[in-house]
Amino acid sequence: MINHHFSNDTIVAVATAPGVGAIAVIRLSGPEAITITNTVFKGKDLTTQASHTIHFGTIRDADKVLDEVLVSLFMGPHSYTKEHVVEISCHGSDFIVQQIMQLLLKHGARLANAGEFTKRAFLNGQFDLAQAEAVADLIASDSALSHEVAMKQMRGGFSQEIKRLRGELVHFASMIELELDFGEEDVEFADREQLRTLILHIQGIIRELLKSFELGNVIKNGVPTVIVGKPNAGKSTLLNKLLNEEKAIVSDVPGTTRDFIEDEINISGITFRFIDTAGLRETTDKVEALGVERTMQKLSQSSLIIYLFDITEVTAEEVQAELDRLNPKKMPIVAVANKIDQATPGKLKAFDSIEGLLTISAAKGAHLEELKQGLVEKVNLGKLNVQQHTIVTNLRHVDSLNKTYAALDDVLNGLALGMSGDLVAADIRRALYSLGEITGEITTDDLLDNIFTKFCIGK
Ligand SMILES: Nc1nc2c(ncn2[C@@H]2O[C@H](COP(=O)(O)OP(=O)(O)OP(=O)(O)O)[C@@H](O)[C@H]2O)c(=O)[nH]1
Ligand SMILES: [Mg+2]
């Protein structure tokens, strides 16, 4: 269980992004948050004010007025960290912010580490570990779907599912351990058949959760979409058009792109990570050959393939052969004919046999909307109801789920072999331990450091 955590120091950090803004917010948390602020604040005595109130005044270094500010007070435990929290809203200049920070440090506050506010919130039981991690995901979310998934996890949807599974196992572990207390007397409180059914059920749920990671990862990190094709097909032109930026060099020299170039955009709430690659061909140029090798690598690592070809240069048969050759694993692939501005209607007709073919002119920007919609349909995330399903987005959770699954396999084997209660109980405990790591019932300092140092300072 989580013990209430009492910090004896008061931390401070800038909570807003650096740079010029209308306002900036400096946040303090800890036992001295209010008293430290009070020593530099002139206007009224903050130590006698009620929680959840806002006060106008000035921040002064001796007689020098640094800024006019608003101070918000949140008294523990009714705050984000459950400690006393003060937020100072000042004018958003880096100079002012630094001056006020210096002053607060001089009066006894300590600079917060990355994620330290959220770590304190976790240690004080504001939320569990999976929820704390979702706070970071929420800040980083850049699409409607990633936002929705992070929001659900932050509100405890995923944690509840894990805790429910854990609760059922705890029941059996304690029954078996009770048997052990009776020693020689050969009693069985825990129905072995029921336990087996439960474990199979839990493993089924874990498999679903692990499967959801494929999707979760795509939602969080974007759909890796590789653009491949022969040299000069117009891949770099297409990338630039999609990104609305001259990111890649375009030229009529075949073999222009040697290395891959990538960037992401959001289409209909889904993040796509587009990767432009070196054109595919046999080549004696050493550097270009390395580029082609990388293209093949990127191809196998992506979730979606755009096969782009110059319609004036090839036949439908050649295209079909390339599509089959490049995609033996039958990944989602979109065949796209480029340079239709130069194709005759007869030429276009000859490509009717290619399934789901899209026709564009990258250079002229024609039919790009159709291409974007085609990509969205291929991914088919839009139809997915992330409210209904629990989706795993975090590699750490995947790792813990895998360990739980393996421990449950051992329980099943133990039961099948009629192993003694203490051995079975030990395997159940191991499964419980791994599940507990997800929500933070089980933590180590390393684990916590690992998680919270990935946060930004001030969160
Ligand atoms: N007419 C016409 N030309 C195009 C179109 N799209 C691209 N091009 C031209 O085709 C040539 C090759 O374009 P790139 O985008 O560099 O082709 P690539 O596939 O990236 O080529 P590599 O990097 O060499 O593999 C350039 O001269 C482009 O201007 C189009 O829709 N119509
Ligand atoms: Mg190129």
What's the CATH number where 258 sits? 3.40.50.300
Q: Which atom of ligand 1 is nearest to the CA of 249?
A: 16
Tokens of 430: 């191991």
The domain boundary, picked from 84, 101, 126, lies at: 126
Does the Cβ of 256 fall within 6 Å of ligand 1?
A: yes
Pocket test for ligand 1, best of 249, 250, 283, 338 (most atoms within 8 A of CB): 250
Atom of ligand 1 nearest to the CA of 366: 31
Taking the centre of ligand 2 as the mean of its atom positions, its distance from the CA of residue 286, in whole angstroms, is: 17
* Cβ-contact 237, 250 below 8 angstroms: yes
**Per the structure, how many domains does the chain have?**
3
245 and 327 inside one domain: yes
Return per-residue pLDDT of the chain as tens, 459 residues. Answer: 344 566 789 999 999 988 888 999 999 999 999 999 999 999 999 999 999 999 999 999 998 999 999 999 999 999 999 999 999 999 999 999 999 999 999 999 999 999 999 999 999 999 999 999 999 899 888 888 889 889 888 998 889 989 999 998 998 888 888 887 776 666 777 788 999 999 999 999 999 999 888 788 888 888 899 999 999 999 999 999 999 999 999 999 999 998 889 999 989 888 899 999 999 988 888 888 888 888 888 888 888 999 999 999 999 999 999 999 888 778 889 999 999 999 998 888 999 999 999 999 999 999 999 999 999 888 865 445 555 678 898 999 999 999 999 999 999 999 999 888 889 999 999 999 999 999 998 888 888 888 898 888 888
Strand partners, 28: 12, 86
Give a yes or no: residue 380 inside a domain.
no
Residue 108 contacts residue 11 (beta carbons within 8 Å): no
Q: Is residue 131 part of a domain?
A: no
For 75-142, strand residue ranges (E) read 85-92, 110-111
Q: Which domain holds residue 310?
A: 222-362
Q: How far is the CA of 363 from the centre of ligand 1 (A)?
A: 7
Q: Do 93 and 152 belong to one domain?
A: no
Nearest residue to 308 (alpha-carbon basis) of 263, 265, 367, 258: 367
Asked whether 232 lines ligand 1 (CB < 6 A), one says yes
Using an 8 Å Cβ cutoff, are 41 and 58 in contact?
A: yes
Question: Can you give the CATH number for the domain in which 56 is found?
Answer: 3.30.1360.120
Task: Please check whether residue 301 lies inside any domain of the structure.
Answer: yes
As given in the structure block, the two tokens for residue 271 are 């993040």
Q: Provide the token pair at 96.
A: 């002012």
User: Is residue 6 assigned to a domain?
Assistant: no
What is d(CA 146, CA 143) in angstroms, rounded to the nearest whole number?
5
Q: What would the two tokens of residue 173 be?
A: 């572990």
Side chain identity, residue 257: T
User: Does residue 415 fall inside a structural domain?
Assistant: yes
| 242 touches ligand 1 (CB under 6 Å) | no
pLDDT at residue 231 in the model:
94
- pLDDT for 184: 63
Same domain for 277 and 163?
Answer: no
Rounded CA-CA distance 407/228 in Å is 43
CA of 257 to the centre of ligand 2 (A): 4
Residues 355, 394 share a domain: no
pLDDT tens digits along 301-353: 888 999 999 999 999 999 999 999 888 778 889 999 999 999 998 888 999 99
Answer whether 240 contacts ligand 1 (Cβ < 6 A): no
3-class DSSP state of 157: helix
Dist. CA 365 → ligand 1 center (Å)? 12
Q: Which atom of ligand 1 is nearest to the CA of 254?
A: 24
Amino acid, res. 102:
Q
229 lies in the same domain as 211: no
- pLDDT score of 2: 41
Ligand number nearest CA of 278 is 1
Is residue 43 domain-shared with residue 105, that is, in the same domain?
yes
State if residue 259 touches ligand 1 by the CB under 6 angstroms criterion: no
Nearest to 103 by CA among 60, 55, 65: 60
CA-nearest residue for atom 11, ligand 1, is 252
Calculate how far, in angstroms, residue 238's C-alpha sits from the geometric centre of ligand 2: 9
How is residue 37 written in tokens?
């602020």
CA 396 – CA 448 distance, rounded (Å): 12
Contacts of 104 (CB under 8 A, 6+ apart): 12, 26, 28, 36, 37, 40
Distance in angstroms (rounded) separating the CA atoms of residues 267 and 239: 14
What is the atom index within ligand 1 of the atom nearest the CA of 252? Answer: 27
Write out the two tokens for 34: 């209010």
Angle between helices 445-452 and 116-123 (to 10 degrees): 140
> Based on the domain organization, do 317 and 238 belong to the same domain?
yes
Query: For the whole prediction, is pTM greater than 0.75?
Result: no
Pocket lining: 228 vs ligand 1, CB cutoff 6 Å = no
Residue 277 to residue 37: CA distance in whole angstroms: 55
